[in-house]
Structures are given as structure tokens and as C-alpha cells.
Amino acid sequence: MRRRTRRLTKTDGVRNLARGRGRRRAPIDLDPGKFRRLGKTLVEDIAKFLATIASREVNPGRSPREVRKLLKGGRRFPAEGTDPSKLLREAAELVLDNSLLTGHPRFWGYISSSGSPIGALGDLLASSVNPNVGSFQLGPLATEMESQVIRWTAELIGYPTSTGGILVSGGNMANFVCFLAARRSSVPWNVRSEGLAAKSVGRFSVYTSAETHTWIQKAADLFGLGTESIRWIPVDTNLRMDVEELRRRILEDRAQGCVPLMVVGTAGTVGTGGVDPLREIAALCRQQKIWFHIDGAYGAPAAILKDAPEDLRAIGDADSVAVDPHKWLYAPLEAGCALVKNPQNLLDTFSYRPPYYTFDGTDEDVPTNYYERGLQNSRSFRALKIWLGMRQVGLNGYRRMISDDVRLAEHLFECIGRYPELEACSLGLSIVTFRFAPSGVDRSESGTEYLNKLNTDILATLQKQGKAFCSSTLIGKKFVIRACIVNFRTDVEDVELLPAMVAEIGGKIHTPDRSVVSARTPHRPAIRG
Ligand SMILES: Cc1ncc(COP(=O)(O)O)c(C=O)c1O
């Protein structure tokens, strides 16, 4: 009998998909047995990596070209897939053997912490379930865990636990969220619907010191104020904002028709770990009715210490605070937290309610939808890695680790002082800055150019050697090497090695005949946050 032929339809395609094979098997899926085997091997590789991290090079020192070669960077997108076990082996080798190790005991670069191992496992768990924490409906457990983490973060830094808040990718984003909340609250009309230029008042202005992290420029630029709206308030000799100058500038601006939007104080500046006079600034802001924001991305957790700088006790006075769990709470990247004291401010700033989302709930049990409280819509389950760390060590664990980091920084500062060829420049929270400035070299302004170049070269060599990793900053015109200890793996012998290494490298690079020779100048006093 002749079979009738007919054209294939879309329905046939779906039938073919299912025919004789049980459920659909997509090429990206892994069957549970294979997942288990691959997972065990990967965890085993990671455990070996963590067990040997201290004996590895901090910095593999590969150039961009070398890294591209490792990745066979020029190749096209492969048309066919690769066996997952082969692929994970390759990826583990690539990543574990070719990365700069922020978890190394002698990594003190920038303000990037060692990530907690439990947080790494948490990320695996979070990604395996993959809730979308934009709305309660899509991530009920993750949403409530995020709210708990926000409350606990507030509690840890001495901020009211009734605060509004949201987890974000890091310090920049946390500060942006707070900046936008301040803008919404401080502009005397509805800036969301009418825009900043709706009415002709004078220019808006924001007040901060030059020690503030560069997020402030991005915020002023991106959110419509322009960087010229930033009033850079001078700092005192300890690099803390001069509050009298702040008051003077606010009054002067007001007299000229400017509208102050916010004052930004920093709890732990990025350069030297300085803490602004937060209590005094808060009092001034209250008196002048100006939003007070604290960038505590790095330093706010130090408020937990019994001997914390007194100004950290004033964090609770701010209208908003940024704090980064991926810095001094040792959560793996990315984890920032924006706290806005009045929870309604966040909704007023970010909420829209489109018809394609549901808003069920009772008056007593209103679901939290985080997409209504920040810039993101779809959101990952950031809370889990932070929550695990918080539960693993408790408040006392953080108190101990942060205190140890501060004590190690103090010890480093002292050790530097024992080397006549080194100049210890500042100590704030857990950041130490210093430079190689051997006797016979002019430490005053006229010797700056030579010393800056010398220390730039010393730092580059230190970073290339791969035994320790520091970064740098400028104090005034002085280029200084900067060690920031937010690292639960750092120990006493690690910090004792650093001045010895810098002195040795400096001794080799220094060419006395090229330097300006004069009498030694005394060390500048330490800067305490
Ligand atoms: C005080 C301060 N604010 C903001 C930031 C930016 O944080 P992130 O790099 O997480 O965006 C940093 C980074 O070091 C910082 O130290």
C-alpha cells in the first residue's frame, strides 16, 4: 500500500522531539549521576587549591596576550559542544592556575577580601536552584533571606534594623541606590516624572571630600547632576573632612540659590582607611535638613569592634549607608548592600507596578519585591553566600576576624618603622601606606618626583614577583604603597615579610646618584581612622 506523504508541520517537530526517548534531553543538561561525579571532582580540585593557596604565587603575572593564548582567544565560537568532564577539568586548570589570588594570605591589593569558602559553596547551591529574586513570587525563600541579611548587616554596623535595604553587586551600586534615594527625597518636586530640569531652581549640589571613592563622580554624572555639582570639601591633616569648611560651603551655596542634595561622609576611605567626622557631619545635616549618606563600603563593619573609632558609632545617624559584604564580611564577589533608613524612600525611588507582575498579599503580610527597591529587575540569590558566612561565624566571629585584620595592620605599620629606609605614612582601620625613602634621599616635595618613580617601580616589581600583592595611592603628591588587610588568611609572618621584601627590592632599584640628596625628614604622624 502506498504511504501518503504530507509536509512536516510544527506539531510533527514536537512529536519527533519526544518520540521514544522519555523526557526531552537538551544538550546543556547534565543527568544527575554525571552532575554528581563532575561536582565531586570539581570540589576535590577546589579543596586541593585551597589547601595549597599559601604556597602558590599571588599573581601569576600573565600579560593580556599570554592570557588570550591560554584561552585560544582567537578561535571561533565552537559549532559543536565538548564533553562536560573534559571541559570542567580544563576550566578548573585554567582558573585555578592562572588567576590572581585574592584569597592568598599575602593579597592586600585594593579593598578586595578573601572570599569565604562557605560562600563559594553557597553560590553553587544558589545557582543550582536559581531563584529570580526580583519578586517574592519567584524567590520566596531567597527574598526573605535577603531581608534577614539586610537586617543583620544593619545590626552589625549599628544601624536601625527597621531600615529599608537591598543587596546589590558592590560598593558603587550600593552608593548609587542611596544617591538616587537622596535625589528623589531632596528634589522638591517629583524628579522621577518631571526630571531634574523641570523647575528653574539654582544648581543642585552634593558635598564630599576628595578622599571619596570615584563612585561619586559616576553618580553625579549618570544621575543628571553633572560632576560640577560636587563640592570637594577640603580635609584636615588626617585626611578627614573639614566640617567648618563644609558648613561654610553649604551656606555660601544656599545664598547663591543652590539646592544642597546630600552630604557624603566616608567610613573607611579607599586610600587610607580614614573615617570622616561622621557625628559632626550628621549634626550639621540635621540642622541644615540635608540628606546624610555614609559610604561605609569598606569600613562600616569595623563599628563592631569595642575599640572602633568613635565616629563609627555615628553610622546610625545617617539617612543611608552603603556597606559591602564582599569587603570586610568576606563574602565572595559580588555582594554590596544599600541601607536606606526609611524603607518607603526606596519604593518612592524605584517602584513601578507593571501589569505583568502580581502583587498578592494581605495587609499584615505584604510580599517584598526587590525589583521595586533597586535598579535591577531579574536578580540573583546574593543573600545565601552572605547568610552562610553570618551563620557560620556569628557576630563574635566577625568581631574577631576584623579585629585581627586591624591588629595585623598595626603590626605591619610598626614593622615598617623598624626599617630606616622605609617611611610609614598612614594607618587607618586595616590600611597601611608606606614608601621606600632611604636615608640621603630628600623626602620633601623636591624629592617627590624621584621617590614616586622609585616606589612605582618597586610596587611593579613586588607585584610581578608574585610573593605578595599591594596596590598604591597618592597622599598629597606622594606615591605610597598601600596594603589593605581584609583577609582572614593573613598571619603575623605574612605581614612581617612585606617590609623586608620592599626594602630589598628598593635597595636593588635605588640609584643614589639620580636622587636629590638632603638631610632626612621625620616621618609624618600616623593617620588613625
Ligand atoms: C570606600 C569605598 N567605596 C566604594 C567602593 C567601590 O566598591 P565596589 O568596587 O564594590 O563597587 C570602594 C572600593 O574599594 C571603596 O573602598
Residues in CB range of 469: below 8 A, 6 or more apart: 58, 59, 100, 104, 106, 107, 108, 109, 462, 463
Which residue has the CA at smallest separation from atom 15 of ligand 1?
Answer: 270
How many Å lie between the centroid of ligand 1 and the Cα of residue 173? 9
- Where does 208-357 have alpha helices with state H? 215-222, 243-255, 278-288, 325-328, 343-350
How many Å lie between the centroid of ligand 1 and the Cα of residue 452? 25
How many Å lie between the centroid of ligand 1 and the Cα of residue 471? 14
Looking at the DSSP bridge assignments, the partners of residue 168 are 336
Q: What is the pLDDT along the chain (529 residues), one digit of tens a residue?
A: 455 556 656 666 666 665 656 788 899 999 999 999 999 999 999 999 999 999 999 999 999 999 999 999 889 999 999 999 999 999 999 999 999 999 999 999 999 999 999 999 999 999 999 999 999 999 999 999 999 999 999 999 999 999 999 999 999 999 999 999 999 999 999 999 999 987 777 789 999 999 999 999 999 999 999 999 999 999 998 999 999 999 999 999 999 999 999 999 999 999 999 999 999 999 999 999 999 999 999 999 999 999 999 999 999 999 999 999 999 999 999 999 999 999 999 999 999 998 888 777 777 788 999 999 999 999 999 999 999 999 999 999 999 999 999 999 999 999 999 999 999 999 999 999 999 999 888 877 777 899 999 999 999 999 999 999 999 999 999 999 999 999 999 999 999 999 999 999 999 999 877 665 443 443 333 444 3
CB of 408 closer than 8 Å to CB of 416: no
For the chain, the structural domain boundaries read 131-380
Which residue has the CA at smallest separation from atom 6 of ligand 1?
Answer: 171
One-letter amino acid of 80: E
Q: What DSSP letter does each residue of 63-126 carry, written as one string? A: -HHHHHHHTTTTPPPPSS---HHHHHHHHHHHHHHHS--TTSTTB-STT-PPPPHHHHHHHHHH
CB of 516 closer than 8 Å to CB of 416: no
Measured between alpha carbons, how far is 157 from 524 in angstroms, rounded to an integer?
31
Instruction: Please give the torsion angle defined by the CA atoms of residues 450, 456, 459 and 463, in that order, rounded to the nearest 10 degrees.
Output: -150
Measured between alpha carbons, how far is 372 from 110 in angstroms, rounded to an integer?
32
**Closest ligand 1 atom to 170 CA:** 10
**Closest ligand 1 atom to 324 CA:** 10
**Closest ligand 1 atom to 212 CA:** 1
Q: What residue ranges line ligand 1, CB within 6 angstroms?
A: 110-111, 170-172, 213, 215, 266, 268, 270, 295, 297-298, 324, 336
pTM of the model: 0.93
How many Å lie between the centroid of ligand 1 and the Cα of residue 274? 14
Q: Which three cell numbers stand for residue 141?
A: 525563600
Which residue has the CA at smallest separation from atom 4 of ligand 1?
Answer: 171
How many Å lie between the centroid of ligand 1 and the Cα of residue 322? 9
Measured between alpha carbons, how far is 169 from 386 in angstroms, rounded to an integer?
12
The one-character DSSP state at 257 is: T
How many Å lie between the centroid of ligand 1 and the Cα of residue 300? 12
Q: Per CATH, is 131-380 categorized as 3.40.50.300?
A: no
How many Å lie between the centroid of ligand 1 and the Cα of residue 140? 30
